[in-house]
Amino acid sequence: MGTFYVCLLAASTVFSLGAFIFGHDTDHGLDHGLDHGDAMPSLFSMRVLSLFVLGFSGISTIAHFVWQFTPVYSALCGLGGGVILGGFAYALVYLFSKEQASSLVSPEDYITQAGRVSVAIPDHGTGEVSVAVKNQLRSVFAVSVDGSAIAESRPVTIVSMAAGTATVKPVS
């Protein structure tokens, strides 16, 4: 049984290093088709699984060779170590995905925001509006809600956002 733990430890070390070195900004999981919403990481992501197996094999190897536990107790200790290391990996992936998700701007974030016309909007034409969304200054294409012209530097409110173009009305 000791040989199994050592081989699993070596394989899980390579697997964990590969998951972190060759992984990308997103963490693809093995749970296709399940919707987590709100940028929640998956318990079945490669990083979480790789560190669970690494914790299991590492603690099982120590329990078997150093503490001289039976295979059953070594496996139970390994399970505990895997849950702890896998939980740590999940918390880390959650922290990073939460930070990344907070900087993403959706079209709904623009609605009701105050902005300023940076490129004049001609009659029935398209101009540009500067608006602060989630503490980021953004410039978006804009059209007026009634098709009328809006002069440069005029304050506006965004009424709707579709296909990257804001529909705005002048502030009275």
* pLDDT tens digit sequence for 138-171: 899 999 999 999 999 999 999 999 888 999 999 9
Q: Has this prediction a pTM greater than 0.85?
A: no
Structure tokens at 151: 């002069």
Alpha carbon distance 6, 9 (integer Å): 5
Per-residue pLDDT tens for 73-132?
999 999 999 999 999 989 988 887 776 656 677 888 889 999 999 999 999 999 999 999
Sign of CA dihedral 52, 56, 57, 58: positive
Q: Among residues 49, 108, 53, 104, which one has the least CA distance to residue 75?
A: 53
Alpha carbon distance 153, 118 (integer Å): 6
Alpha carbon distance 65, 9 (integer Å): 13
Domains of the chain as residue ranges with CATH: 2-102 (no CATH), 107-170 (2.40.50.140)
Sign of CA dihedral 42, 45, 47, 51: positive
Can you say how many angstroms the Cα of residue 162 is from the centroid of all Cα atoms in its chain? 24
